[in-house]
Structure 1
Amino acid sequence: MSIVRNIYHKYEAVKAPKVAIISLTTEGRALAQRLQSTIFPEGISYVKESKQQKLLDKEKMLIEESAFKTIQTMMQASCDLIISIMATGITVRAIAPFIQDKTIDPAIIVMDDQGEFVISLLSGHIGHANQWSREIAETIGGQAVITTATDVRKRMGLDDLAKSINGYYRQFKVKTRQFNQMIADNQKIALMNQAGISLPENSQCFCELDAIEWQNHSQDYQGLIVISYEPLAIEKYCLNVSPHQKYVQIIPRKFVVGVGCRRNTSIEVLERNFQIFMKEMNLDTLGVQKIVSIDVKKDELAIISLAKRIGVNFETFSKEELLAYEPLFEGSDFVKKAVGVASVAQASAYHETNGNIMSERYANEGVTFALAKYE
């Protein structure tokens, strides 16, 4: 499930990206300062040594006085976005040995030091380089250079659609390649929004249908996208499709699972009961965005293992934070004695989502779960 965690990190990084801006010339340095003052105030600018101008706040010298070395160091420094204000050739040669995978690689943007062209070079969709390139170009009056086939046609890619709703789909690379090729070729793709989630305006390139319309006209479409929280929802509509038709289910990650368990609960027991709970909720495990609990469980191996397996963050809250909700839920005297608060699963899920609890407490084999949903 590491690919899920990688993509989830990409989604989160867009909100507060770690940005490195690397320049070689005086004009490039000025352009970097402009980007810092308008779009990336937390970005670090790496510049060539200048006796005429001292380093400003959030400026650093090029590593080993080399733009090439600086780019390579930033590729290994968990940057989310590298803006290279120099020749594309230098940038390509510098990043080439460090390119791994579209779910891991940082967004790379190349610019000339006059700000005329803003080139989305790497990780255009998942890494957000295409959108950042547009934003930069609009801000400085330049031209965004984007070569992704779907974007050139002003159509939304499957991976961009998933990102826009904080969703994920299985067989990520295969399905992305299949659907984005169809989208670039202007093939007709049906979309069923069973989750009722708000979609971006540029998703209109898909043909939104309901179940009856799909049943009656499925032969008119080359592909089907189903947006649903339900496990295997896509299979209900693809029993009689042509082998040439492609289909995919996007699961929006909107849910929080509160967890409580006895100390040193086995991974097997927690996992087994988690699967039962999710089945009862009729919810695909990919719909979970976060697991939460009380802080005394922050080192509980079974919970840590579960969060890692399904590719989500695990966050805990203090007893004092959860005590405020104790009157709202049926609790346990045993749990109260052990951790200081009677309800852990429901209270922590309630706290994380500002009260949007979706389930009663599940309890079995010393394990408790509760479901809540982000608005």
Structure 2
Amino acid sequence: MLPHATVCTLPKFAADLEALPNEKFICQKTLREEMGGIFGRFDQLVCFVSLGAVVRLVAPHLKDKETDPGVIVVDDAARYVVPMLSGHVGGANAWAERVARLLDATAVLTTASDAGGTLAVDILGRELGWQVEAPKINLTRVAAAVVNRERIAIVQETGSRNWWTRKTPLPANIELLDDLADVKPGYHQALLWITHRPVDASFWTQWPERLIVYRPPQGQDEDARPGDAAAKEATA
């Protein structure tokens, strides 16, 4: 159940949904006319409509992946749950897996990192409260390096060690190191640095478009897990 979700529907379906405890939004116009307001109001849209129809409904309202809500499509038989928009930053992939569990359905994730079972560098540590520091071009270049199986160094000096949440091992092209001195420029094609240290401008220059810095909360326990209060708050 999703008790905090708002159910948006057309008047002809309203009576069928009366028993649900959720807040209701009954469209007074066509769904196409209402979509602008719906798109701007919610963080996630779970649509029980064909994927093609959803594409046409949301297309006029798209801005960018930093601000667009997650959009998820469920087929009429509730067998497949497809995150269509804002899979990573918007959280649609995670929500699609949650909805799929509720429906006993299959989540169909098409983003490269999920399909390949590797890191999503733009949201690494997000559920642990980590902040990402990097120009957008760095996120794009490093994400490509990860999915293309280039050699990646991760140096972790602080924060929880429970950032890898997949059931499979860390991919072989990603090397986890404890010391920045162990990174080999030229051998490693990109660097993910989990640290509280200041990063000098010259260091960014050494890793042009290939460096991402992650900032865990101060004092975060290395055993903190996603969802723990300790994951997002510094210990006293």
Deviation at 1:61, TM superposition (A): 5.1
Other-structure match for 1:76: 40
Seq. identity, %: 22
1:192 matches 2:52: no
Other-structure match for 2:225: none
2:100 aligned residue (129, 133, 137): 137
- How far apart, in 1, do the equivalents of 2:144 and 2:192 lie? 14
Superposed counterparts of 1:255-266, under 5 Å: none
Other-structure match for 1:90: 53
Across the two proteins, how many residue pairs are aligned to each other? 217
TM-score, normalised relative to structure 2: 0.79
Deviation at 1:59, TM superposition (A): 5.0
Deviations 1:137-196 (A, max 9, x none): 233122212111111001111112142332233344222211111111011110111124
- How far apart, in 2, do the equivalents of 1:250 and 1:235 lie? 18
Deviation at 1:233, TM superposition (A): 6.3
Judge conservation of contact 1:63–1:69 (CA < 8 Å) in 2. Answer: no
**SS in structure 1 of the partner of residue 98 of structure 2:** helix
- How far apart, in 2, do the equivalents of 1:165 and 1:61 lie? 33
Judge conservation of contact 1:225–1:247 (CA < 8 Å) in 2. Answer: yes
Judge conservation of contact 2:159–2:216 (CA < 8 Å) in 1. Answer: no
- Of Structure 1 and Structure 2, the greater helix share is in 1
**CA distance 1:172–1:102, change in 2 (3 Å):** farther
Other-structure match for 1:230: 197
Specify every segment of 5 or more residues in structure 2 that has no aligned partner in the other structure, as ranges: 220-228
TM-score, normalised relative to structure 1: 0.52
Superposed counterparts of 1:1-375, under 5 Å: 38=1, 40-48=2-10, 49-50=12-13, 53=16, 55-56=18-19, 57-60=21-24, 62-77=26-41, 79-202=42-165, 204-205=170-171, 206-211=174-179, 214-215=182-183, 217-232=184-199, 241=206, 246-254=210-218, 374-375=234-235
**CA distance 1:228–1:117, change in 2 (3 Å):** same
**SS in structure 2 of the partner of residue 158 of structure 1:** coil
Deviation at 1:242, TM superposition (A): 7.0
**SS in structure 1 of the partner of residue 186 of structure 2:** helix
Kindly provide the amino acid, as one letter, of the partner of residue 209 in structure 1. Answer: L
Judge conservation of contact 2:66–2:89 (CA < 8 Å) in 1. Answer: yes
- How far apart, in 2, do the equivalents of 1:208 and 1:139 lie? 35
**CA distance 1:55–1:212, change in 2 (3 Å):** closer
Other-structure match for 1:276: none
Deviations 1:335-354 (A, max 9, x none): xxxxxxxxxxxxxxxxxx99
The structure with the largest alpha-carbon Rg is 1
Specify every segment of 5 or more residues in structure 1 that has no aligned partner in the other structure, as ranges: 1-37, 256-352, 355-372
**CA distance 1:102–1:212, change in 2 (3 Å):** closer
- How far apart, in 1, do the equivalents of 2:22 and 2:30 lie? 18
Kindly provide the amino acid, as one letter, of the partner of residue 177 in structure 1. Answer: T
Kindly provide the amino acid, as one letter, of the partner of residue 143 in structure 1. Answer: T
